[in-house]
Every structure is written in structure tokens, then in C-alpha cells.
């Protein structure tokens, strides 16, 4: 598959220069055209006042009965300009990641549009992403990783960098959940994009499931929270974010031994698949 990059400039950006260090993956609900309005139009013009650098629609929304060999990808903001996609965000020692990242929105029309049992938006309603859409995303990511020299561990989800947020009074409010538990992170890693840990680990000591140990591992990997030894709301939300990315089948459960193995292998860069392999092949024309 090849991608056809379509220019559709967003009004929700600035001329501020950025040096991309991260790529942040998102998903957005609504139809293709409404999602594009939200990402390109100001609030006064009926948009959302937000933006991303790229938007990848779902092919079912297009006037075609089958996936084309050329897949449309919308380019909304220049790669080295500031887009409003990450908001209040943190990873390792970096904060406000709009200044450091390229944002890619994957269309998921029913994300957060379905009502939950209380009648509100269901921010945990995720549906399968079509293979053609993911393949287009892989091709785009290969280009961006090569062009901007993005390191594998710096390809993250919105939920990773904003698992919790604070309001003006310093209170904890809901963080981000996208791109969600159905996003195929492992498939991306199989294509050399991002990282995926080995599932086994040789060890000489028992697995420590204490809260303080779990907090230490999450912090060392990159999440931002306090090492308090207390299972507080911030810790719970960071655990959920890790589960959404690496262990969606365990989402909402207490930390498992498998989670500890995953974290330790990620920290040691003991990966199941070789990062950047396809990028290298792409560069060599293999």
C-alpha cells in the first residue's frame, strides 16, 4: 500500500517552530468530515480549536466499496510547526509535549460517541481499527521516523502522556484514553515501529508487586507520578494507561506479574521485535 498525502491546512496551529522528538498517536470520533472540521476550524467557525499534524480516515467512510491501493492521509500542520494535540502532558523529564511532538489522529467514528450506562460519553468505547487504516499508518510512521530520526521508545499514545490531568485548582480530573485498548501496538512493533517487550524474563529474585515497586518501574519507564507507596488515583490511572498500551486484556485489574515482566523488559530494552528494522529496510529500498 502507498499513501496519498492530501494537504488540508488547519487554522488551529501556530508558526512556532518545534523539533520533533516524539510521535503521539490519537484516535478521534465523529465522521470523517466532522473530525476534519474539529481539527482544522476554530471554535468560532464551528470547529474544535484543536489540531494534529496528520489525520488518517477509516476507508469505510470513503466512497469506495474496497480499500484502494493508495490510501488518503490528510496533512493538517507542517511537521515542524506547533499543533494543538497533546495539551497538558508529561513523559520522563519533558512536559507540554505539543512543543516536542508530531500528532497523528486515527479516525474511530464511534470512539466516545457511544453513551455509557449513566448517559454520558463512553471514553472506554473502542472498536477495531481496519487493517487498511493501520497499514496506512505504518507507512506514514515509517516516513516520519526516518525523516525526523524519532527513537522507537518515543512513539507513544495520548493516554501514555496524559493518563491524568489537573484542573486550575490542582484537583485531579480525567485523563486521556486514546488510542485505546484495540489499537494494534504489537503489530506496529512487528513492523519495527515503537517497542514491544519480550514476554519472558530470567530472574534471580521474586517479582515484587508492592505499590512502591510498581511506581518505581512506571516512573523509570517514563510515566510521571509520585513514588508514594500508596495506590492513589494518579497511580491507578497510570497503571490503566500502561494496560491500555501493552496489556488491554488486563485493563482495570490489579497489576499482574506479567505487567512487571513487561515493564522490566521495556526498561532494559529487551524487545520482542527489532525496533527500526523496517525503517532501515525502507531506507535501503529493500
Which of 102, 186, 191 shows the shortest CA–CA distance to 139? 191
Q: Are strands 90-91 and 94-95 parallel, antiparallel or unpaired?
A: antiparallel
Give the start-end residues of each E strand in the chain: 2-7, 13-17, 22-28, 54-56, 70-75, 81-83, 90-91, 94-95, 101-107, 155-157, 164-166, 172-174
Q: What is the mean pLDDT of each run of 10 residues along the chain (286 residues)?
A: 94 96 96 95 96 92 57 97 96 97 96 69 89 96 96 98 87 89 97 96 93 98 95 96 98 97 97 84 62
pLDDT of residue 192: 93
> In the structure grid, which three cell numbers stand for residue 148, read together?
525526523
- Size of the chain, expressed as the number of residues it contains: 286
**Residue 33, C-beta contacts closer than 8 angstroms, at least 6 positions apart:** none
- Give CA–CA dist 134/147, Å, rounded: 20
Alpha helices by DSSP H, listed for the chain, are 32-40, 131-148, 158-161, 185-190, 211-221, 233-246, 257-267, 277-284
pLDDT of residue 262: 98
* 178, 255 Cβ separation under 8 angstroms: no
pLDDT of residue 114: 62
Q: Which domains does the chain have, with CATH numbers?
A: 2-182 (3.40.80.10), 197-270 (1.10.101)
User: What is the pTM assigned to this prediction?
Assistant: 0.93
Amino acid at each position: 500500500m502507498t499513501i496519498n498525502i492530501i494537504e488540508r491546512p488547519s487554522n488551529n496551529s501556530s508558526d512556532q517552530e518545534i523539533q520533533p522528538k516524539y510521535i503521539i498517536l490519537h484516535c478521534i470520533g465523529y465522521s470523517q468530515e466532522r473530525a476534519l472540521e474539529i481539527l482544522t476550524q476554530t471554535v468560532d467557525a464551528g470547529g474544535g480549536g484543536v489540531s494534529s499534524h496528520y489525520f488518517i480516515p477509516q476507508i469505510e467512510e470513503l466512497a469506495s466499496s474496497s480499500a484502494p491501493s493508495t490510501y488518503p492521509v490528510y496533512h493538517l500542520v507542517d511537521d515542524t510547526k506547533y499543533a494543538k494535540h497533546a495539551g497538558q502532558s508529561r513523559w520522563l523529564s519533558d512536559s507540554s509535549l505539543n512543543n516536542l511532538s508530531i500528532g497523528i489522529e486515527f479516525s474511530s467514528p464511534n470512539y466516545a460517541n457511544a453513551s455509557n450506562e449513566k448517559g454520558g460519553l463512553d471514553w472506554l468505547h473502542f472498536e477495531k481499527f481496519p487493517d487498511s487504516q493501520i497499514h496506512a499508518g505504518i507507512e506514514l510512521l515509517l516516513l516520519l521516523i526516518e525523516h525526523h530520526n524519532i527513537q522507537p521508545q518515543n512513539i507513544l499514545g495520548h493516554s501514555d502522556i496524559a493518563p491524568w490531568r489537573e484542573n486550575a485548582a490542582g484537583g485531579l480530573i480525567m485523563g486521556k484514553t486514546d488510542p485505546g485498548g484495540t489499537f494494534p501496538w504489537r503489530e506496529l512493533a512487528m513492523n519495527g515501529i515503537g517497542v514491544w517487550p519480550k514476554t519472558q524474563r530470567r530472574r534471580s529474585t521474586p517479582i515484587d508487586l508492592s505499590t512502591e515497586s510498581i511506581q518505581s518501574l512506571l516512573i523509570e519507564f517514563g510515566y510521571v507520578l509520585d513514588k508514594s507507596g500508596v495506590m492513589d488515583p494518579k497511580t491507578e490511572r497510570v497503571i490503566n494507561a500502561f494496560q491500555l498500551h501493552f496489556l488491554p486484556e488486563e485493563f482495570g485489574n490489579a497489576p499482574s506479574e506479567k505487567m512487571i515482566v513487561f515493564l522490566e523488559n521495556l526498561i532494559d530494552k529487551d524487545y520482542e521485535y527489532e525496533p527500526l528494522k523496517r525503517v532501515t529496510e525502507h531506507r535501503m529500498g529493500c
